[in-house]
């Protein structure tokens, strides 16, 4: 099959579209990466060039193609209890957080991918709060991609995905289920009920839907790395208004708050507290 070549002019159009609609800022050197990631999709749609693909994206007012595009451009890699140090920090600070909030916890897993992050939060709270059923816990889990959200909402994971879970967690928080002749694990309904899954684009989403000072904890990990500085700063500013006083923001270990640091106290690597 003939190889599709992404022309510089087409790349410039896609670059601007991706930045405007997903918030991901692609440098000029990413032309070959974009060509490699999108070529299969362009052919699958029966289109003959990236220019035609761009027209298809612009004409798609329902955002179906935008979905595909975002899953091809960014990665959905995630795992249970990713960034172990952050969980240790949370464990040490959980009693003081609960004391401050009076047992009510509102948590946002922003860019939750296939759900391992919000389910880790639910398992973590079940494990470390002695009277967890008496607490009022709600976890909002959002992502731009409805494809990953569908997987998250099912809450069924392969044995490989469950390998990072601590001893005993599978037995306590999952039930085995056969999926296409493979043993998989389904998260228990009790934990699932604490989580609300929603589609939300962190860059173009309607933040007016959220109340100010709504969350005690925000996890926004391993997504800001795709955004440029102004987009990152705007997002951090949003998070600041959405956190309760002394609320915590957890970001990915390869990310950092630079310009907004004065608004947040740095507590540990990639963990910030609203002053
Ligand atoms: C690498 S995963 C991170 C998952 C999880 N937070 C973690 O750290 O394991 C990045 C996720 O960000 C999502 N994403 C990319 N751009 C986004 C945007 N503009 N708004 C919301 N989510 C976005 C992707 O769909 C993907 O699921």
Q: What is the pLDDT of residues 125-134, one digit of tens each?
A: 999 999 999 9
List pocket residues of ligand 1, CB cut-off 6 Å: 22-23, 70, 74-78, 82, 111-113, 117, 143-145, 148, 201-203, 221-223, 252
Q: Where does residue 180 fall: left (phi above 0), alpha (psi -120 to 50 degrees), or beta otherwise?
A: left
This prediction's pTM: 0.91
143 an active-site residue? yes
Q: Are 63 and 264 in contact (CB under 8 A)?
A: no
Name the band, by pLDDT with cuts 50, 70 and 90, for residue 260: low
What architecture does CATH give domain 84-274? 3-Layer(aba) Sandwich (3.40)
Residues of the chain with CATH 1.10.155.10: 8-73
Using the predicted structure, report yes or no on whether residue 194 has a pLDDT greater than 60.
yes
**Over the stretch 168-181, which tens digit does the pLDDT of each residue have?**
999 999 999 999 99
What pLDDT shows up at residue 175? 97
Using the predicted structure, report yes or no on whether residue 1 has a pLDDT greater than 70.
no
Residues of the chain with CATH 3.40.50.150: 84-274
The CATH code of the domain at 8-73 is: 1.10.155.10
Q: What is the Cα–Cα distance from 48 to 194, expressed in whole angstroms?
A: 46
Q: What is the Cα–Cα distance from 154 to 192, expressed in whole angstroms?
A: 9
Using the predicted structure, report yes or no on whether residue 261 has a pLDDT greater than 70.
no
Strands 195-199 and 243-251: unpaired
For ligand 1, mutation pick of 141, 152, 223 (most atoms within 8 Å of CB): 223
Using the predicted structure, report yes or no on whether residue 67 has a pLDDT greater than 90.
no
82 an active-site residue? no
Which ligand 1 atom is the nearest neighbour of the CA of 71?
25
Beta-bridged to residue 185, according to DSSP, are 157, 176
CA of residue 102 to ligand 1 center, whole Å? 31
Angle between helices 8-21 and 64-73 (to 10 degrees): 100
Burial group, residue 43, by CB count within 10 angstroms (0-12, 13-18, 19+): middle
- Sign, CA dihedral 226-227-229-235, equals negative
CA of residue 120 to ligand 1 center, whole Å? 16
By percentage, how much of the chain surpasses pLDDT 70?
A: 98
């Amino acid at each position: 099959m003939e190889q599709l070549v992404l022309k510089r002019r087409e790349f410039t159009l896609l670059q601007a579209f991706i930045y405007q609609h997903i918030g991901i800022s692609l440098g000029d050197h990413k032309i070959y990466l974009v060509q490699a990631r999108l070529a299969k999709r362009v052919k699958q749609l029966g289109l003959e060039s990236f220019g035609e693909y761009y027209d298809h994206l612009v004409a798609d007012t329902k955002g179906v193609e935008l979905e595909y595009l975002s899953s091809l451009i960014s990665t959905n890699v995630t795992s249970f209890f990713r960034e172990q140090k952050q969980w240790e920090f949370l464990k040490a600070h959980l009693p003081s957080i609960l004391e401050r909030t009076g047992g009510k916890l509102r948590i946002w897993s922003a860019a939750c991918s296939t759900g391992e992050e919000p389910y880790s939060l639910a398992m973590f709270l079940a494990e470390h709060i002695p009277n967890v059923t008496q607490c009022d816990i709600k976890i909002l889990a959002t992502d731009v991609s409805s494809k990953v959200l569908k997987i998250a909402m099912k809450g069924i994971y392969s044995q490989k995905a469950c390998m990072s879970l601590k001893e005993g967690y599978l037995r306590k928080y999952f039930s085995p289920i056969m999926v296409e002749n493979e043993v998989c694990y389904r998260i228990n309904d009790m934990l699932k009920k604490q989580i609300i899954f929603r589609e939300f684009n962190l860059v173009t989403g309607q933040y007016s839907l959220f109340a100010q000072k709504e969350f005690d904890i925000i996890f926004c990990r391993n997504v800001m790395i795709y955004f440029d500085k102004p987009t990152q700063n705007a997002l951090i500013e949003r998070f600041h208004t959405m956190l309760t006083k002394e609320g915590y923001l957890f970001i990915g270990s390869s990310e950092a708050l630079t310009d907004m640091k004065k608004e947040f106290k740095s507590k540990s690597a990639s963990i910030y507290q609203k002053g």
